[in-house]
Amino acid sequence: MAKESIGIRFLYHTFLGRVILKVLTQRFVSVLVGHFLNTRISKVFIRSFVKQNHIRLEEYYSDFHSFNDFFSRKVREEFRPIAEGENTLISPSDGYLSAYKIEDGLVLPVKHSHYSISSLLQNEDLASKYKDGVCLVLRLCVDHYHRYCYLDSGRKERNVSISGKLHTVRPIALEKYPVFTENAREYSILHTKHFGDVIQIEVGALFVGKIKNFHEEYTFAKGEEKGTFLFGGSTIILLFEKDKVQFSEKYFEDTKLEKETLVKMGEKIGESM
């Protein structure tokens, strides 16, 4: 697991920090921060951010008009190749991967709490379709590539937005808040050619003012850009139906040991059954 900063520990582990957190997690605060990060003056933060997070700018196109332009920067294609093969499932984003088998409707056992699919989707009928399937969680940190792509070719339905409070998605937040059920999120059903009906959920985080999906109903191609997050850490959750995709057992074993696997957008993470 990634180490937590002093500031994050203060917000989640002290009384004063939690008082401040109640204000910071209000949507209007995130919106105000988002507006500022879209201004030209916000460019002054780019250099220090790059240095602090060891970001290799030569891997990206670098015409930045604001901090959010930089944060949602577009990678050069040779640095995120898309794994070939019709039966190859790719990761839709960079991130730390955790894997869970969906049993009895329970998806995310985190710090002795459980989060159900129905609470994530707020739709019990849709949730029932993924009984005995697989849930993948991709946790993005601020130094990761924050654009995400389609994991296969197919057709998507309209986006469903669920409003909520905006907490950080770092593990420390999970100790006190049901982050994935409180946070603002957006999901869509992807009718894929090779992996059944996949649900992709984008979860906003502290100071992410916007989850920016590029399409509503849409016919997509594998590796095509689906959207981007603006500033902050973020999470993508993927739900797969039973017996549609085969994943390495190592993902599940490591998750039980609270280990995450670092993956990059376009990398192979599974294959069709």
Q: Which amino acids are annotated catalytic?
A: 94, 234
Whether 133 and 143 have beta carbons less than 8 Å apart is answered as no
Q: Which residues, in sequence order, are bridge partners of residue 90?
A: 268
The Cα–Cα gap between 46 and 220 comes to 33
In this structure, the strands spanning 185-192 and 197-203 are antiparallel
Rounded Cα distance between 170 and 1, Å, is: 9
Residue that is written with structure tokens 């109903």 in the block: 217
CB of 130 closer than 8 Å to CB of 102? yes
Q: Is residue 228 within 8 Å of 47, Cβ to Cβ?
A: no
Choose among 84, 135, 112: nearest CA to 251: 135
Residue 186 corresponds to which amino acid?
Answer: E
Which DSSP symbol is given to 86? T
